[in-house]
Amino acid sequence: MCAAYLQVSIVYNQYIMIKEFLEKNEDLTACPVRDIMDRVSDKWSLLILVVLDEYGTLRFHQISNLLSAISQKVLTSTLKTLEADGLIARQVYPEVPPRVEYSITAIGSSLIPAVKALTDWAEVHMPAIKASRAAFKKR
Amino acid sequence: MCAAYLQVSIVYNQYIMIKEFLEKNEDLTACPVRDIMDRVSDKWSLLILVVLDEYGTLRFHQISNLLSAISQKVLTSTLKTLEADGLIARQVYPEVPPRVEYSITAIGSSLIPAVKALTDWAEVHMPAIKASRAAFKKR
DNA sequence: CGGAATCCTTGCCGATACTG
DNA sequence: CAGTATCGGCAAGGATTCCG
């Protein structure tokens, strides 16, 4: 049972979970890391947060234009999950034709600096990683 | 052409790319963020880095035992890409039966604190996110 | 205008069997 | 022991069409 718990813990909670579990057998059922990782690392969520952070408030088709490679379906679903998580706000104006405006929330914009640590690391180390990949390939 | 370039830029480079592009039309062909995001956020890479960081050096089946939910095939391929990126080192001892030891590299362990910023954010904000999800659901 | 509904492709991941 | 080889499931993402 303990083994099963460890296993589940590791799978679903990644970084914090395993560090703490390896030190002491704590109850870590609410560890959120994997969850957030999934959100941050899907194809478009972070990018939408960034454009909203940059531009302030945007309408649906404005985001669509800025990220012209995204399909409407994916944009819709991504916006919906971001809204559900409270990272962006959705304002509907009951007009004809309809108008919907999206903006980043306080919690959403607080995520951006956290991501910045990772992007900074990536900028610094990417040359080494590319070199390593090239060397590995021709082996 | 500029539009196409913007599009490609945004798709492949996420955070830094778009921020810089929105400010000035720079050449940002080597922006690595998306790439690193993919690596960090796949199902097992980060976890392997963490156990190697915790335990020092481990053999193949030791990692397999620690992360008992991972299949051999996936463990093999994940280790291979981590090695190709230079984030872990692979040492083969020409014995019978064979012995292979994995350890984290300096660059690999430097990634962990960067991820920590994200995991810290997740720990702090997950309660609010969970509450937001629950409220969104019953709407 | 801002979606919803549908169908389809792709790629990650897992299970199983086999090997130097 | 430390892998390789093969098959297959499943969910994310994309293309297209339709709607209030």
Closest by CA position to A106, among listed B43, B125, B59: B125
Location of structure tokens 């899907």: A42
Lowest mean pLDDT among A31-40, A97-106, B115-124: A31-40
- pLDDT value of position A123: 80
Task: Say yes or no to pLDDT of B5 above 60.
Answer: no
pLDDT band per the 50, 70, 90 thresholds, residue A7: very low
In a domain, A69, yes or no: yes
In a domain, A26, yes or no: no
Chain B interface includes A106 (CB < 8 A): no
Contact A115, A40 (CB under 8 A): yes
When divided into structural domains, chain B yields a total of 1
Q: What is the mean pLDDT of residues A45-70?
A: 89
CATH of the domain at A108: 1.10.10.10
Of residues B23 and A69, which shows the higher confidence score? A69
Q: Which two tokens stand for residue B90?
A: 């692979």
User: Domain limits at A119?
Assistant: 33-138
Asked whether the whole model's pTM tops 0.75, one would answer: yes
Quick: pLDDT tens for B25-84.
333 333 567 778 778 878 889 889 988 988 899 999 999 988 877 899 999 999 999 999
Listed as ranges, the nucleotides of chain D within 7 A of a protein C-beta are: 1-6, 12-17, 20
In a domain, B9, yes or no: no
- pLDDT value of position A1: 21
In a domain, B67, yes or no: yes
In a domain, B14, yes or no: no
In a domain, A10, yes or no: no
Q: What is the mean pLDDT of residues B3-23?
A: 44
Q: Which one of A80, A129, A137, A138 makes the best mutation probe of the B interface by having the most chain B beta carbons within 10 Å?
A: A129
In a domain, A47, yes or no: yes
In a domain, B39, yes or no: yes
Chain A window 70-129, residues with Cβ within 7 A of nucleic strand C:
72-73, 76, 79-80, 90, 97-100
pLDDT band per the 50, 70, 90 thresholds, residue A8: very low
| Omega of the bond leading into A32 within 30 degrees of 0 (cis) | no
Chain A interface includes B33 (CB < 8 A): yes
pLDDT band per the 50, 70, 90 thresholds, residue A100: very high
Separation between Cα atoms, residue B52 and residue A6, nearest integer Å: 17
- pLDDT value of position B6: 34
- Subunit contact B37:A22, Cβ cutoff 8 A: no
Q: Where are the alpha helices (DSSP H) in chain A?
A: 2-23, 33-41, 45-55, 60-66, 72-84, 106-137
Angle between helices B33-41 and B45-55 (to 10 degrees): 70
